[in-house]
Structure 1
Amino acid sequence: MQPKAIGLLRLDTTDDRKRDEQVIADLVSKGGYDFAGLLTIKPDTYMPTTLVVETVHKLGATAILTPDFDHFGGAVRAVSLACELVTPYGTVPRSEP
């Protein structure tokens, strides 16, 4: 069974959405993930970290795929408590509280 993953894009961070979506698609392919969808965070999204973690749990994802760590909005430590974080530049494994 393939691990399930979601993609994550912060719209206030990306300057080329198509390129960033392609980066996520490449990570899906490279990692052999079952892709559960793309979560986009707008600048006015209420409690974005909570939304990300809730989405991970609701969809049963084990990883979040994103073009770079900036898309986590400074919440790398918090989000890594819920799942693995994967970028082309490296992976942050799921951590224990």
Structure 2
Amino acid sequence: MSGSRIKVTLYNRTFKEIDMSDFTRITEGIFSNRDDIVEVAFPEGVEVIAPNAFENCRRLEKVEFPKSLKSIENEAFINCLSLKEADYGKNVTVAPDAFKGCINL
């Protein structure tokens, strides 16, 4: 069931799919300090991006959020210097510092 996987594009253009038993919450720090992630697509069902989940992912350029998303928490994407696209919709609660240091947003 590919609908319940997080799709990650790495810097060398390979793809990685991650199965999660409980993917309603992307856990704290799960992808922090990864220099090889360029793009992430979350499956439907993800509701929360926890604090610092993608902290210091300096090559991350694009994030695709699902319609099910409810909340992006503190510093979830802090210092993602290359992030250019993050369309999370209107009904999402976003911490004031969720995208701190994302100079290209």
Q: TM-score range by the shorter chain?
A: 0.3 to 0.5
Structure with greater contact order relative to length (CA < 8 Å, sep ≥ 6): 1
TM-score (norm 1): 0.37
